[in-house]
Copies of this chain bind each other. A is one copy, B any other.
Amino acid sequence: MPAFNPRFNPLVEKLSPPPVPSVAAWGRAYDGSRGPLIDLSQAVPGYPAHPDMLKLLGETASSTTFTGYGPIEGETELRRVYAEHVSEVYGASLGLENIHITSGCNQAFVCAAMTVAGPGSTVLMTEPFYFNHETTLAMLGIKTAFVPCAAENGFLPDLVGIEAAITPEVRALALVSPNNPTGAIYPPSLLEAIFKLCREKGIWLILDETYRDFMPAAGPAKGGMAPHTLFSLDGWQETLIDLYSFSKSFCIPGHRLGAITAGAAAVQQIAKIMDNLQICAPRAAQGAVAKALPILADWREENRQEIGRRANALKAVMRAANDWKLDAIGAYFAFVRHPFPGKGSAEVAEKLAREAGIICIPGAYFGESQQNYLRFAFANADVPTIALLEERLKNFSLS
């Protein structure tokens, strides 16, 4: 088989192989000498799904109610319950017609991107970026442009940088908050300013809030602030497409369930895309999550607090770990500066996996300029496991 087969779609062939499996392979080469492997690579909650969630999934999956095709936009009951939920989270008024269920949040991004951008148009992203967003756009023939986010600014983009990057070809700005890979949480005031800039410029704002439920501060249901006010601003239906994942919050990524909140006209476009992509998201999990969403509110709040404890544990570790620097930490992820400037992040990450038994994602996977960084999905590991990092990082050397 030749290395390059001219009969494959070049947009797909030139994509790198998926990063997560290659990182896992480094971990398999670890000999266990430093203790158990610590997996901080793919974002997977390090605690199991709630027993009630599993029970509901078993009930719906074994029922003939969900074996047939369902509505393209999603189960009516889940759309209704989720619309109520986001209305509460954002203090806004959202209905069934604003919700489209997808098979995970990656698919939500595919749908959002295709809704607003075709081959040859441009979607603006922040850098560092979530790699699957970048490869999704590349394989669709959608061009990308990047707004750099600097460590000294907490990896937040600035308005001047965004405005400068909005050329006439740009159809949308895609953001992730809480951010993947840096963990950075975009303040509501920044999101509002960015939204208003997008609205003024006539481009869409695609906002991926997969990690929304893991904010350090409690949400409105517990007396806290909303993640942002965008759903209450004029013209949000023509500007904002908001993405969410049930995978992390309910510990069920294997069931593949996500959601889009958007204007009714955008939802109608998304339904045409989803019909082609896979008719409808898997139904049994939709039926189960519709019931679990209200029931498991307190459990999700406990998990949010637990992930806060894990963040604190990582902060303590990093203060003690000599030349390793925690340049950003937020909901779920930390962006860690390794002490080997000039060395490639993949080289560091591979050796860290093979010799220290820590798997994480090299910074360069989120943008070539991120070679000095590693992404730690710290939420995967419990506090005692995170404490093990200190000795391993201190004793690690590249030579």
Contacts and interface: CB of A to CB of B under 8 A. Distances in A.
A126 to B, nearest CB: 19
A182 interface: no
A161 interface: no
Nearest to A271: B18
Contact of A8 (B115, B136, B139): B115
A210 B168 CA distance: 44
Give the bracket for the number of chain A residues in contact with chain B: 35 or more
Contacts of A115: 8-9, 12
A196 interface: no
Residue among A5, A69, A117 having the largest count of chain B Cβ atoms under 10 Å: A69
Interface string A1-31: 1000101111111011110110000000000
A49 B61 contact: no
A276 interface: yes
Interface in A250-305: 251-256, 264-266, 268-269, 271-273, 275-285, 288
Interface stretch (A104-112, A147-155, A355-363): A104-112
A3 to B, nearest CB: 10
Nearest to A2: B265
Given A276-B110, A284-B255, A119 B141 contact: yes
B67 A48 contact: yes
B277 A69 contact: no
A265 B5 contact: yes
A285 to B, nearest CB: 7
A382 interface: no
Contact of A279 (B5, B106, B120): B106
A11 B139 CA distance: 16
A42 B275 CA distance: 13
Interface string A56-78: 01111111101111111000000
A86 B15 CA distance: 30
A70 B256 CA distance: 10
A255 B285 CA distance: 9
A153 to B, nearest CB: 29
A204 B282 CA distance: 30
Nearest to A276: B136
Nearest to A252: B67
A144 interface: no
A269 B13 contact: yes
B256 A103 contact: yes
Contact of A118 (B10, B118, B254, B256): B10
A135 B62 contact: no
Contacts of A266: 8
A44 B67 CA distance: 10
A116 B8 contact: yes
Contacts of A121: 9
B67 A282 contact: no
A99 to B, nearest CB: 16
Which 6 pairs show the lowest CB-CB distances between chains A and B? A58-B62, A61-B61, A119-B119, A254-B283, A18-B275, A57-B61
10 contacts: A13-B269, A18-B272, A57-B284, A104-B279, A107-B278, A119-B119, A135-B272, A140-B140, A254-B283, A256-B283
